[in-house]
Every structure is written in C-alpha cells, then in structure tokens.
Amino acid sequence: MPLSFVHHRYTFGKSDFPFPGIQFEDHELKSLDLVFEFLYANIHDVDQDFLFGNFKHSCHDIILLKTSIGVEGKYIDYLSSLCHKKLVPVGPLVSHNDKNDDGDNSDIIQWLDKKKQSSTIFISFGSEYFLSKIEIEEIAKGLELCDVNFIWIIRFPIGVTINLEETLPEGFLDRVAERGMVVTGWAPQAKILGHANTGGFVSHCGWSSIMESMYFGVPVIAMPMKVDQPINARMLSEAGSCVEVKRNENEVFKGEEIAKAISKVVVEESGEGLRRRARELSETMKMENEEVLDRVAEELWRVCLMNKL
C-alpha cells in the first residue's frame, strides 16, 4: 500500500487516493512532499522518474515485492496498473531465528516467560529513528498511566553517550521495576513478537516492523513518525489489527493518548477483537507463504528461460 499511494501521488499529484478508507492528515502529506522535494534537489543527475526508475528497468516486466497478497491484494493490483508491471509478492521475509538467541539477551525472554499470556507490550521504533527527550517522557508517562507490563527498547545515535536515568522521568525505573524492562542495546524482536505473552507492539510502523507484527499475529499500537509510516499505520488500522495514537493540536503524541491506545489493545475488551484479527492476518500470511514462494520461483525460472533464448 505505501508504494501504491506514493506512485499515485507521483502520477496524479494531490488527487484523491482511490481507497477512501485510507485518509491522511495535511501535515503527513506535507512531510512526504518535502522528502520528495529534498531528494529531487539533492540527488545528483536525478530526473522526475528517479523514484520508480528501477520499476522501468526491471527485466521482463516483473517486480518482486516484500508483502502479502492476502493483506495488500487491492493495493498491489492498483500499483500494477499504475506502473504497468506484474508485481509478484515474495511474502513477509521474516526471520525466525534472531542472532544471539542464547546469548546476552536471554534475560529478556526469561523475564517475558514469567508474565501472563498477552499481558506485555513490546515498544520499539526501529534502528533509524531516535526518540527525542520529550517523546521518551511522554511514552514513560503513558506507561505509568496504563499500568501494563512492557519491554521498551530505547536506542541512541552511535557515539552518543546518554545516561538513561537522566533521560527518563525521575524515579521512573524504580516505579516500574516489577512490570517493565528498559533495554538500550539490541533485543531479539522476532522472538519477543512471537512469544505468547506479548499482547501488543508499540511501533513507528516501519515496513519491516509491520510485516513482523502481522506475521506473528500481534496487534499494533501505532505511533508513526515520518514518510511512509502513517500510510502503513492506516493500512493496518483498516485491516483491523491496529490502534493509532492520536496526536494533539500541535502534532505531538501525549502520554494520555498513548495510555488510551495501549489500554484498548491490552486491557479493554476491544483488545480481544484486535488480537483475533491479528491472528487471522498471521494465518493468512503463513497459509499463502508456500504458494507465494512457488510463484516467485516460477517467475524467476521464466525469466531465466527467456534470457537463455
């Protein structure tokens, strides 16, 4: 869906996206357009086709996409009509085995093992987005307000030395010691999301994280930050396995809204419906996985034969 929306905007400008269930805020569209303008202005020898130039140069009119047809079918069809290529989903490409599974991070899984089923949320914003001090404070506030178990991954830029206790609200680590774990290094994300005691994923909604959440059947508490992330969050909300945190009038995530969204997924009755829908998406992905890979192999074999001829 992100690619179909971006290609639509690239092709038709500000005309309405033909899927009314997917809506965007003005500031989100402005942010996306600013990225395009920056790339056009700063990439050497760029032309107006740079975003989809690799589509045009794809041999034999096929393009492989990291996605699931059961989740994105209508968006894949629309993108195919826009770029005039056959789009072949390759599935989520989720790794089942994290590095260091039995190494330094075993304490995280041991801690999670002791919690109740679906009682714990996993919080991670990927490896490329670093939370500001204000964002960290608001997330911490939300976690105190909703009173759920959590594993929170906080990353800082390489070379930056930051005292975690000074970054978090005063006394936060002591107040949440029994129900929360804050990690500043690497964590086995796939293993955490695949654990029965994980009931929700607070995410920036990067594409790989979205694919993993769906594959492991974990509903998402969405806090999209930039570029394609709001698009990904809307798609997952439309699919029924996501609750998006509302921003305030200044486009800021506040602790109270973070707590409300977490509670909808983990505490309130609505959470069961979200988890059921997340499990259905997971089953869809896994059932189609073998068929998808067979189709990819057939398409690649066809390309090889045509090249040989």
- SS3 labels along 132-147: CHHHHHHHHHHHHHHC
- Check residues 197 and 286 and name the one with the higher pLDDT: 197
Q: What Å distances lie between residue 123 and 16, 186, 221, 240, 250, CA to CA?
A: 33, 13, 9, 20, 23
Measured over the CA atoms of residue 7, residue 12, residue 14 and residue 16, the dihedral's sign is negative
What are the extents of the domains in the chain? 2-93+290-308, 106-282
User: Can you give the pTM of this predicted structure?
Assistant: 0.87
Lowest mean pLDDT among 41-50, 191-200, 231-240: 41-50
- Cα(121)–Cα(243) distance, integer angstroms: 13
Cross-strand bridge partners of residue 62? 86
Task: Give residue 308's identity as a one-letter amino acid code.
Answer: K
What one-letter code names the amino acid at 12? F
C-alpha span between 201 and 280 (Å, rounded):
17
Contact 244, 222 (CB under 8 A): yes
Percentage of the chain beyond pLDDT 70 is 89
Residues 6+ apart with CB under 8 A from 63: 55, 83, 85, 86, 87, 88
> CB atoms < 10 A from the CB of 69, how many?
21
Res 244: pLDDT: 95
Mean pLDDT over 247-268 rounds to 93
CA gap 193, 92 in Å, rounded: 14
Q: What are the two backbone dihedrals, phi and then psi, of residue 151, each rounded to the nearest 5 degrees?
A: -120, 120
pLDDT value for 58: 64
List the one residue out of 193, 213, 55 whose CA is nearest residue 112.
193
pLDDT digits (tens, 9 = 90+) for 63-105: 888 888 888 888 999 988 888 888 888 888 887 655 555 555 6
- 67 vs 181, more confident: 181
Residue 212 has pLDDT above 60, yes or no: yes
Architecture of the domain defined by 106-282: 3-Layer(aba) Sandwich (3.40)
| β-strands 180-183, 149-153 pairing | parallel
Task: Give 28-62 pLDDT, tens digit per residue.
Answer: 788 777 877 776 676 544 455 555 666 666 666 78
